Amino acid sequence: MDSEALSTFLTIYRSGGVSNAAKILHRSQPAISRRIALLEDELGVPLFERIAGRTVLSDAGRVMVPYAERAVAATRDAENAVRSLVRSNSGPVALAVVGTLAGGGLATIMKRFTREHPDVALTLRTARSAEVSDLIRRGEATIGLRYDFDRSTDLDHERLFAERLQVVCAPDHPRASGRTRKLAELRNERWIAFPEVPGRREITASHVFALFQTHGLGEIDWTPVDSLTAQRRLIESGFGIALLAQSMVADELKASNIATIDVGDLSASHDIVAVTRRGGFLSAASRHLLDMIRAHYSADKIATVKRARGQVAKRQMASPRARRGCATCSTG
């Protein structure tokens, strides 16, 4: 079997049928059917079945998928490695990220990268965390950015940053810029959150709802909103409050369009993780992009530590004991 046959097999599987695969591959349906028939003859088993008018994988086809993905990805690696010998600063680099991480910081990195590497074809795809890993695994993306670690042994993971979660609200909310002892004290608020889609687990939504449960907010009034932009606009308007990572509302906080509520018993964060395929080929340009991403999140770590120290100092100065001490000093 060859990589073209395996690629054809995977295209039929992902697109849901021969006709869709023919359109994607720009080939005739008979040519696609013949290519799969030859592969099935070679293996001695059918890879697809027709059930209720739909093309679905056979048992053998399901077994075949992960091996075909690895083989096709390895073929791409070989091509890229050979091309890199001719021109080390060219070729494709595909970046896959969770949509909520595709903010201003990443845009700045991509702009700088394309300026420094004009001959590199840089592309960006957004997806859920699990889908980011799948794109890397299949060789359809070079570098992935997602939340939390994937347990898969065919991927390499690098923890870049632990981004703190915070409660955000409209600037005119009664608790805006204030402090509450427990998250459970906000149980009567209307919450805005990413929806949990059955069969499509997303780290962001699962983590937030797990926090709600552990902090005594099992039954809450919440509105599912799958767009981060829509969530921010609803929060600004005072429709509800949300538990979001700092970077998701950085611009709104800077412009004072959104405020925060300091919660005493809330200490939660999302791990932002870089994902690459274990044993996969990374060109010089890919490695440079990964270094730029690392540097960006290292700078975020330093800025976060400074902000945290400033907030601690501010709370200490605002405490009754500190105020009494200052009064004593000024009169003594």
Residue-wise pLDDT tens digits, 109-165 = 999 999 998 888 899 999 888 899 999 988 889 999 998 888 788 899 999 998 888
| Predicted pLDDT of residue 205 | 67
The C-alpha atoms of residue 109 and residue 259 are separated, in whole angstroms, by 27
- Predicted confidence at residue 317, as pLDDT, reads 53
- For residue 200, the model assigns a pLDDT of 54
* Separation in Å, CA 98 to CA 9, 72, 110, 309: 27, 24, 15, 29
pLDDT at res. 155: 92
Q: Residue 248: what pLDDT?
A: 85
For position 284, what pLDDT does the model report? Answer: 84
Domains detected in the chain: 1-68 (1.10.10.10), 162-271 (3.40.190.10)
The CA-based angle 85-156-200, given to 5 degrees, is 120
Report the candidate in 125, 118, 161 with the shortest Cα–Cα distance to residue 140.
125
Q: Which two tokens stand for residue 179?
A: 């402090």
pLDDT < 70: residue spans in the chain: 83-90, 197-205, 218, 300-332
pLDDT at position 88 is 58
**pLDDT computed for residue 234 by the predictor:** 95
Predicted local distance difference test score (pLDDT) of residue 86: 54
Q: Is residue 146 left, alpha or beta, with left meaning phi > 0 and alpha meaning psi from -120 to 50? A: beta
pTM of the model: 0.65
